[in-house]
Amino acid sequence: MENHQEIAGILLRYHRFLIATHVMPDGDAVGSMLGLGLGLQKKGRRVTMTCPGGVPENLRFIPGSDQIVAADDIQSSEYDVVVVLDSSDLGRIEGVYERLSPGIPIVNIDHHSTNKGYGTYNYVDSSSAATGEQVYKILISINVRVDPSIAICLFTAIATDTGFFRFSNTTPTTLRIAARLVERGAEPSVISEQVYEARSLENLKMLGRVLDTLQMDKTGKIAWMEVYGNRMSELSLDEGQTEGFVNYARMVKGVEVALIFRESADGKIRVGMRSKGEFDVGALAETLGGGGHARAAGCSLDSQSISEAKELVFGKVYEIMGLAGD
C-alpha cells in the first residue's frame, strides 16, 4: 500500500492519463477527478477524464466538467496509465473497465474501507473524509499550485462527502484542507448554492414523485424510496439526476438505515444507502457486491424488480441488526 508521497512520485513517471470514477458519480467523485486532472495538466500531462453515465446536472458548474468524455470515446491504446478515484472496486467503473488494455498500470486512489486493493498501486486511506483530501495531498507533493479552479473542484469533493462538514467523518485535517482551499479561491456559499439549490424544475418534480414512495418498515429503523424508470423518462431525466434523494429518507426521525431503489437503464436495480448511528452500510453493500463507507454506500443488483431487490436488501439489514423482518 502506497502513501500520497509515493503515489505522487509514481504519477510523475507517466505522461498520458486516463482518469475514471464510479457510476452515478457524486461530488467527491467528480471533484476529485477534475481536481487531479487539472493539476496533472498543469504539469504538462495529457489527461482524459471519464465517468459512467456522465456528470449530474448540479455538478456541471465544477471547472473542467466540459472535458469529461463518455466511455464510448475512450481509446485504451492512447494511455500509459489509468487512475481510478473514489471506487471500491473496478466494477464501479462499469463501461470503462471493459475498455482498458490488458496489463495497463492502474493507480487506485480511494477512501473507502471496503476497497479491494485492485490497483497496481494503491493509495487507500479510510481516515480521509473524502478522496478530495487525498488528491489535495498528492497535488501538493508534486508541487502543483492550487489555483481557484482546482480549489473549487477539491472543496466541492470534500464538502459534499462531509455534508458540508456536518457528518462525523469531518476531522481537523478536513477543516484545515478546506480552509486552504478557501484561501485559494473556493467560495463555500457559491458551491453550496450550486450543489443544493440549483435544481431544474423537472428534477424537483421527480423529487416530489420519489418522496411519495417514502415508507418506513414496522421497526421504524429503515426508511426507503423507489425510483421507476418510466417516471424518469416522462421528465426526460436519467438516474444520475436522482443522486442525493436518499438523504431525505435519512432525515426521518428514528431511522438508522435509509435506502433508495432505482430502476436502471441497463436492467439492474441500483441501491443507494445511508445510515445514522452505528449501522455500517459499507459492510452491508459489500455483502451485496457493492461498496462504500460506513455512512454512505451502494450496490447494483441483478434483481428482476424493485420488490425483489427490497426483499434481498431488507433481509441483509435485519440479519445485521438482529431483528425480525416485517
**From first to last of its 326 residues, what are the pLDDT tens digits of the chain?**
899 999 999 999 999 999 999 988 999 999 999 999 999 999 999 999 999 888 988 999 999 999 999 988 888 789 999 999 999 889 889 889 888 889 999 999 999 988 999 999 999 999 999 999 999 999 999 999 999 999 999 999 999 999 999 988 999 999 999 999 999 999 999 999 999 988 889 999 999 999 999 999 999 999 999 999 998 899 988 877 888 899 999 999 999 999 999 998 888 999 999 998 889 998 999 999 888 888 888 898 998 899 999 999 999 999 999 876 55
**DSSP state, 315?**
H
User: What are phi and psi for residue 215, nearest 5 degrees?
Assistant: -140, 160
Cell of 136: 489535495
Strands (E), the chain: 16-21, 46-50, 68-69, 81-85, 106-110, 121-124, 215-216, 222-227, 257-263, 269-275, 291-292, 296-301
User: What are phi and psi for residue 98, nearest 5 degrees?
Assistant: -65, -20
Residue 92's pLDDT is 86
Architecture, CATH, for domain 4-196: Alpha-Beta Complex (3.90)
Residue 324's pLDDT is 62
Strand partners, 48: 18
Which is nearest to 175 in space by CA: 191, 194, 159?
A: 159
Residue 326's pLDDT is 52
CB burial class (10 A; 0-12, 13-18, 19+) of residue 24? buried
45's CB contacts (< 8 A; 6+ apart) are 14, 15, 16, 17
Cα of 187 vs its chain's centroid, Å: 22
Using a CB cutoff of 8 Å and minimum separation of 24, what contacts does 176-185 make?
A: 177/133, 177/136, 180/136, 180/146, 181/136, 181/146, 181/151, 181/154, 181/155, 182/151, 182/155, 184/146, 184/147, 184/148, 184/150, 184/151, 185/147, 185/148, 185/149, 185/151, 185/152
* Rg for the chain, CA atoms, rounded: 19
Encoded amino acid at 273, one letter: M
101's CB contacts (< 8 A; 6+ apart) are 76, 77, 79
Cell of 276: 445514522
Start-to-end CA span in the chain (Å): 43
| Domains in the chain: boundaries | 4-196, 202-321
CA angle centred on 222, ends 216 and 226, rounded to 5°: 65
* C-beta atoms surrounding 223 within 10 Å: 24
Task: Return d(Cα 2, Cα 124) in angstroms, integer.
Answer: 8
4-196 shares its CATH topology with 202-321: no
Task: Return d(Cα 151, Cα 130) in angstroms, integer.
Answer: 14
Q: DSSP 3-state assignment of 293? A: coil
Residue 325's pLDDT is 55
Task: Give the Å distances, CA to CA, from 298 to 36, 90, 96, 119, 259.
Answer: 24, 14, 19, 21, 9
Contact between 262 and 227 (Cβ < 8 Å): yes
Class of domain 202-321 as given by CATH: alpha beta
Residue 266's pLDDT is 82
What would you measure as the largest C-alpha separation in the chain, in angstroms? 58
